[in-house]
Amino acid sequence: MSRLVYVLNGPNLNLLGKRQPQIYGSETLADVEAACRTLAGELGLEIRFHQSNREYEIIDWIHEARETAGGIVINPAAFTHTSVAILDALNAFDAPVIEVHISNVHKREAFRHHSYVSLRADGVIAGLGTQGYGLALRRLAHLIDAKA
């Protein structure tokens, strides 16, 4: 099984560290990517790290991952609560998917309590800050190794 993992980030995560730091912290998305790359190296994973404010780009990356990846870590951000299209793309992906949220979405507005992505995800990590990405990568490495 491929040791390539896609780490996909949805809208407004490009503003991480600048937007609502009381909710999302002060780390930037570049900090998150650097931490993911370091951990991926330790775990023997290769990663492709992407962020987009455009739903279709996230869908295109999921389609691309179908051909090459052993797993996906996805923080769909606001698309979590709205995108049947991302759910459909993930349903066409045959390897593990871990959904990550920096904040605890269950302590926030009621509309954030529903996730379309969770209907497909093999695991969900919420409220652990940016550390959730590392935990997701560790879980995917375990799942990939278990299949090998």
118 is in an annotated binding site: no
User: Is 24 annotated in the active site?
Assistant: yes
Is 101 among the catalytic positions?
A: yes
Q: Is 23 annotated as a binding residue?
A: no
Per the annotation, does 88 bind a ligand?
yes
**Three-state SS annotation for the chain:** CCCEEEEEECCCHHHCCCCCHHHHCCCCHHHHHHHHHHHHHHHCCEEEEEECCCHHHHHHHHHHHHHHCCEEEEECHHHHHCCHHHHHHHHCCCCCEEEEECCCHHHCCHHHHCCCHHHCCCEEEECCCCHHHHHHHHHHHHHHHHHC
60 is known to lie in a ligand binding site? no
The residue annotated as part of the active site, out of 6, 24, 116, 133, is: 24
Residue 26 assigned ligand-binding role:
no
The annotation status of 72 as a binding-site residue, yes or no, is no
Catalytic residue among 6, 50, 63, 101: 101
Binding residues for substrate: 75, 81, 88, 102-103, 112
Binding site, annotated residues: 75, 81, 88, 102-103, 112
Residues classed as catalytic: 24, 101
